[in-house]
């Protein structure tokens, strides 16, 4: 599968800027387009949320209440603050941080989904040629953001608890030896139920990562820690873990982001981040010229849902039970159909939306590979693991794939895994 070339505009009156002309196509978009062509295909590829759990009634109720209120309704439909609704920022600060809420809400910016923040943060902190350290594997959309900016991504080895601090230190030492350490600007982590690997970092691992960053900041320019907490609320087993700032991360170089896309609705498009200065001011200025701030109505809606504690109710009564069942359906099917195949590896993720699967090493999962084609013929789609690896640092694991249990019903998940296992077995003979 190769990226579709941009249409040539040589005969057209409009010419594109160099950056627009070079904009990389998201490989996943092409996969999705293929999947939509075949409605029978069971897609375990899309990172979408479960359609049946979307909070239609909750949204209807709060939009109704807002619009019936003669002052709140018009206010919600007016432009808001560029930084985002103050009361919502305060509620987010209270929800996700142990203390210093006033400070956190002042250092916060609301965005149109957290992807927008990932792009803006990277644009504000880096030049082309700078370096981001990330997990191997990592969130492939962020890799595309970095490609878009001409920033190099370097993958760091991980285990079942996320990025390994020793591997992080080794990579930094290598980059120092190559004279590139000054160009390392961001360490990007998805510390809760990582996309794609599903791993959550325990507190001790987070502290060990912070220790590496502290040592680095002692001897050279600090590296910004960008902690993307997109899946924190989607926990099905065990206890929550404190975020980096609550574990004593240095606020001058720590960024925490989150989103209401996974725990509520991606269509509402509300993301948030807490930033050190001068990044906070720079982002605020960028947002002000780009869009004057994100949609105020969406922010008012989330604010009201948080005010009534209804997000937690929704999580407890609807989302967590639904996703736990789907996660169980996927893991049980993997145990039944895939585990007996020698060399297959996967973990049971305690939350999130993904299972990261390794098939026996001689097989490769890339789009267009024999296994890929066999899966399409069988009627099942996955995300090839190769999309999730940076081009530098830790080696690409060509025998991996991301499986999502967010969208499909339990029956279709089980059926999809069975079809996948049949394809794997057929390709091994």
Site of interaction with ligand PMP (CB under 6 A):
47, 113-115, 139, 190, 195, 228, 230, 259, 261, 266, 271
Closest chain position to ligand PMP (CB): 113
What does the angle CA 257 – CA 261 – CA 266 come to, to the nearest 5 degrees? 140
| Cβ atoms of 162 and 135 closer than 8 Å | yes
Written as one string, the DSSP assignment of 121-188 is HHHHH--TT-EEEEEES--HHHHHHHHHHT-EEEEEEEETTEE-HHHHHHHHHHHHHTT-GGGEEEEE
Nearer to ligand PMP, 266 or 379 (CB): 266
Cα distance between residue 154 and residue 131, in whole Å = 7
Nearer to ligand PMP, 82 or 143 (CB): 143
| Cβ atoms of 84 and 259 closer than 8 Å | no
Cα distance between residue 232 and residue 192, in whole Å = 5
Cα distance between residue 275 and residue 277, in whole Å = 7
Eight-state DSSP code of residue 322 = H
Cα distance between residue 419 and residue 429, in whole Å = 16
Nearer to ligand PMP, 193 or 253 (CB): 193
* Site of tokens 């049971």: 348
**Pair of tokens at residue 31:** 């996969």
Cα distance between residue 228 and residue 283, in whole Å = 17
Q: Kind and range of the H or E element at 109?
A: strand 108-111
List the beta bridge partners of residue 109: 273
Q: Least distance (Å) from ligand PMP to the CB of residue 190? A: 5
Q: Least distance (Å) from ligand PMP to the CB of residue 146? A: 14
Cα distance between residue 112 and residue 97, in whole Å = 21
């Amino acid at each position: 599968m190769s990226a579709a070339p941009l249409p040539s505009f040589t005969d057209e009156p409009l010419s594109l800027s160099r950056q627009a002309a070079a904009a990389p196509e998201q490989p996943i978009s092409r996969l999705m387009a293929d999947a939509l062509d075949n409605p029978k295909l069971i897609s375990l590829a899309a990172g979408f949320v479960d359609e049946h759990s979307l909070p239609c009634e909750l949204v209807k109720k709060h939009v109704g209440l807002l619009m019936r209120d003669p002052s709140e309704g018009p206010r919600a439909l007016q432009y808001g603050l560029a930084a985002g609704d103050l009361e919502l920022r305060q509620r987010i600060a209270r929800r996700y941080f142990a203390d210093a809420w006033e400070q956190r809400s002042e250092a916060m910016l609301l965005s149109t989904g957290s992807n927008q923040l990932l792009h803006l943060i990277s644009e504000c902190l880096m030049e082309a040629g700078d370096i981001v350290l990330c997990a191997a594997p990592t969130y492939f959309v962020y890799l595309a953001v970095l490609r878009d900016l001409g920033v190099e991504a370097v993958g760091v080895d991980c285990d079942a608890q996320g990025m390994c601090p020793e591997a992080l230190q080794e990579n930094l030492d290598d980059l120092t030896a190559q004279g590139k350490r000054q160009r390392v600007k961001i360490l990007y982590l998805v510390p809760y139920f990582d996309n794609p690997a599903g791993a959550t970092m325990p507190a001790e691992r987070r502290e060990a990562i912070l220790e590496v960053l502290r040592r680095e900041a002692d001897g050279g320019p600090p590296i910004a820690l960008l902690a993307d907490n997109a899946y924190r609320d989607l926990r099905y087993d065990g206890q929550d873990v404190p975020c980096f700032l609550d574990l004593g991360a240095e606020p001058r170089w720590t960024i925490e982001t989150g989103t209401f896309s996974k725990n509520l609705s991606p269509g509402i498009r509300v993301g948030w981040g807490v930033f050190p200065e001068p990044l906070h001011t720079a982002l605020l200025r960028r947002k002000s010229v780009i869009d004057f701030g994100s949609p105020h109505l969406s922010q008012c809606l989330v604010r009201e849902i948080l005010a009534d504690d209804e997000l937690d109710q929704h999580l407890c009564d609807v989302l967590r039970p639904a996703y736990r069942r789907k996660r169980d359906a996927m893991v049980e099917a993997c145990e039944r159909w895939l585990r007996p195949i020698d060399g297959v590896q996967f973990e049971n993720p305690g939350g999130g939306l993904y299972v990261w699967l390794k098939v026996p090493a001689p097989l490769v999962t890339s789009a267009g590979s024999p296994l890929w084609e066999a899966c399409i013929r069988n009627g099942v789609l996955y995300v090839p693991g190769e999309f999730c690896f940076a081009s530098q640092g830790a080696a690409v694991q060509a025998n991996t794939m991301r499986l999502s249990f967010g969208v499909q019903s339990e029956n279709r998940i089980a059926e999809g895994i069975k079809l996948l296992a049949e394809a794997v077995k057929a390709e091994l003979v």
